[in-house]
Amino acid sequence: MQRCGNCNAPIPDDAESCQFCSTETERGRRLRLERAQRLEVEQREAQRKADQAAAASRSRALTEASGAANRSLMWSLLGLLACCLPLGPIIGIVTARRAKELAVQGGTSTGHAHVALGVGIACALLSVAGWSTIALIARAEANRKTELEVLIAKGVGDAALTSATACALTELELMNSKYRDYDWLNTGLTCGTQLTVTGSEAVLEGSHFTKDQQRVPVVACFHRGDRWGLAQVRPDARCDQPPPVPEPEDSGPKRNRAP
């Protein structure tokens, strides 16, 4: 037994405080300090583990966000390279937004995700602009063909072939057959004025277009049955000969073409 230092009441040796006045004993103070020290150690350890877990979580979030941003860039650029297909940039934008969400959730920088999102939007706009341009060109070409068909319909039934009808027939044939890589938008046909009509046959000479900085001559050969029609297009006026065979495209040196 021991005596309380405050009220002098007898208390057990293993008591941590007096049961009469609640005064803390020496043993009680020692045990309280030990418990406080253990608690502090446990709290520091718990904080260390929490910090490690948070760092690991941020690292995973950064890795996931960076990976998502890289995938976004890949999809956006792939779509741009694949004939401006809009699907790639759309997937890139969605992936970039996911990368941004992961970065925010993980408390990491969103700079990479912002770059990926910007690239995705830019690629999407370029894709839309590219396909819109293609659609406009196709529409303009279709309208031009319609104009030529209307002009042709007015003159092919006439007994005498006119220069206007001959030029319209020639241009429409070049557009449809892509003769010598004729490109309605970039090359442009200069129609000739040397129209020779002999009975049911006619030849239009002097036409040409420019391709790869080279002048490509065009001679149109016509024949009239019930109405005038284009028999063939060739580089010379030998309309009695079969149509020329198109030159094969290869990687070898270009051969001199017939003037």
126 lies in the same domain as 61: yes
Residues 179 and 119 in one domain: no
Q: Is residue 142 part of a domain?
A: no
Q: Is residue 111 part of a domain?
A: yes
Phi-psi region of 2 (alpha: psi -120 to 50; beta: other; left: phi over 0): beta
161 belongs to a structural domain: yes
Structural domain contains residue 77: yes
For residues 32 and 100, state if they share a domain.
Answer: yes
What is the predicted pLDDT for the residue at 93? Answer: 76
Token duo for residue 128? 């839309």
Query: Residue 210 has what pLDDT?
Result: 92
For residue 230, the enclosing domain spans 156-234
CATH number at residue 177: 3.10.450.630
Domain boundary among 64, 98, 131: 131
Separation between Cα atoms, residue 28 and residue 16, nearest integer Å:
4
Q: Are residues 126 and 160 in the same domain?
A: no
On whether residue 256 sits in a domain, the answer given is no
Are 24 and 2 in contact by the 8 Å Cβ rule? The answer is: no
Please tell me whether residues 81 and 161 are part of one structural domain: no
The predicted pLDDT at position 67 comes to 72
Q: Classify residue 258: in a domain, yes or no.
A: no
**Phi/psi of residue 137, nearest 5 degrees:** -65, -45
Does 242 fall in a domain?
no
Residues, the chain, total?
259
103 and 183 together in one domain: no
In this structure, the answer to whether residues 176 and 95 fall within a common structural domain is no
Torsion of CA 232, 233, 238, 241, to 10 degrees: -40
- Do 63 and 116 lie in one domain? The reply is yes
Q: Which helix (H) or strand (E) holds 152?
A: helix 111-155
User: DSSP assignment, residue 247?
Assistant: P
Is residue 11 within 8 A of residue 2, CB to CB? The reply is yes
Ranges of residues in the chain whose predicted pLDDT is under 50: 250-259
Which residues make Cβ contacts (< 8 Å) with residue 137, sequence separation at least 6? 185
**H helices of 11-110, where?**
26-81, 87-105
106 & 42 share domain = yes
Q: What is the domain count for the chain? A: 2
User: In this predicted structure, what is the pLDDT of residue 250?
Assistant: 47
What is the predicted pLDDT for the residue at 259? 38
Q: Do both 30 and 126 map to the same domain? A: yes
Q: What is the pLDDT of residue 247?
A: 61
In a domain, 149, yes or no: no
Q: Which two tokens stand for residue 256?
A: 């001199």
Backbone angles phi, psi at 82, to 5 degrees: -85, 65
Of 212, 216, 209, 224, nearest to 244 by C-alpha is 216
